[in-house]
Amino acid sequence: MAAPILSGVRKLLKHVHFATIPRRHRHKKKWAATEPKFPAVRLALQNFDMTYSVQFGDLWPSIRVSLLSEQKYGALVNNFAAWDHVSAKLEELSARDFVNEAISHWELEPESGQSGAPSPASWACSPNLRCFTFARGDVSRFPPARLGSLGVMDYYLMDAASLLPVLALGLQPGDIVLDLCAAPGGKTLALLQTGCCNLAANDLSTSRIGRLQKVLHSYVPEEIRDGNQVRVTSWDGRKWGELEGDTYDRVLVDVPCTTDRHSLHEEENNIFQRSRKKERQMLPMLQVQLLAAGLLATKPGGHVVYSTCSLSHLQNEYVVQGTIELLANQYSIEVQVEDLTHFRRLFMDTFCFFPSCQVGELVIPNLMANFGPMYFCKMRRLT
């Protein structure tokens, strides 16, 4: 995929200012050190302070303190468990199902004079998803999930914003769906919860596939895991357009990224480790290749949702716009970005959205609603 747009991505990378260590602090130790002089989490914060203070301006201090604070979670109800009993238990905790609450509210709005609002049928969230959160400003925690009476776990704890790309995909009964970068498995599990798709779940990393398989084993009945509803593979996602082109109705491309919140809290598997600098700089290139492969794997008329858990516009809008240009120039394939304004309005009571994305939507962390970051953009392959 050595195309002009990829050289364009390379040029973009030259303008990314990755945090450097002041020369006066550079020295080699003469003995082995178990603790790095500059931990990856500190390098990540330096990098974010340099880049995001420019990208977000006055919003950055609020986002920064939220990223450094405890994350908020949602409880995705497992429909393969006794979901009605599970939902009742979560309601007793004073949590609310933000998905169905938002959809119910939207359906009632035309009666209160909002006749210009689109009907739910016209934008079609993926169905049958139930996810409970605590209200804005409520920092209560959900208890750990338990094994239910039907032999599977009751609910799955996740960043509730991670459900938005799955909801935006708009699954319909009978859809053939690809989750191109599926591990560790939260979004894959959510796709299966809809009960209306045949799913291919792929991830290149065999260790991450192991985590995905563990999630499926804990939450999905054996007859579904071993049947034809889900197929798990470990292939190079960049080649999917060649392997299964023009095949899928819906594709989720949840790409590897700088995982901003993780990078500020965990040394293990942190992409800001010195040894991973080249890998980090090449992320936008990889993301373009994966999104292009996802679009090539989609049938004409089908939909793709691209998502990251990064705030970086280099990994978000730039990747989307660059990939669309790539497919137009190299494959004569036209891709249209879908307007998600209605989607932002639908869930703005639960999440804090950045108001100025060029394309797609971005959930930004906020102390009152400390979810995200989560960027997602929905596209339709026209030709």
Helix (H/G/I), strand (E/B), else coil: 20 = coil
Residue 257 is a catalytic residue: no
- Residue 183 is assigned to a ligand binding site: yes
Catalytic member of 131, 197, 257, 309: 309
- Residue 254 is assigned to a ligand binding site: yes
- Residue 302 is assigned to a ligand binding site: no
Phi-psi region of 372 (alpha: psi -120 to 50; beta: other; left: phi over 0): left
CA 234 to CA 149: how far, in whole Å? 32
- Residue 186 is assigned to a ligand binding site: yes
CA 165 to CA 238: how far, in whole Å? 20
Residue 151: exposure state from Cβ atoms within 10 A (0-12, 13-18, ≥19): exposed
- Residue 196 is assigned to a ligand binding site: no
CB–CB of 359/61 below 8 Å?
A: no
Residue with tokens 């190079």: 236
Phi then psi for residue 323, to 5 deg, are -70, -40
Phi then psi for residue 19, to 5 deg, are -60, 135
- DSSP 3-state percent helix, strand, coil across the chain (nearest 5): 45, 15, 40
- Residue 185 is assigned to a ligand binding site: yes
Residue with tokens 């006749």: 115
CB–CB of 21/47 below 8 Å?
A: no
338 contact partners, CB below 8 Å, separation of at least 6: 303, 378, 379, 380
CA 337 to CA 322: how far, in whole Å? 12
- Residue 260 is assigned to a ligand binding site: no
CA 353 to CA 17: how far, in whole Å? 25
Structure tokens at 207: 């260790």
- Residue 33 is assigned to a ligand binding site: no
CA distances, 10 to each of 4, 6, 18, 50, 167 (Å)? 10, 6, 15, 20, 32
- Residue 322 is assigned to a ligand binding site: no
Per DSSP bridges, beta strands 155-158 and 374-381 are: unpaired
- Residue 236 is assigned to a ligand binding site: yes
Provide the annotated active-site residues: 309
Which residues line the annotated binding site for S-adenosyl-L-methionine? 181-187, 203, 236, 254
Which residues line the annotated binding site? 181-187, 203, 236, 254
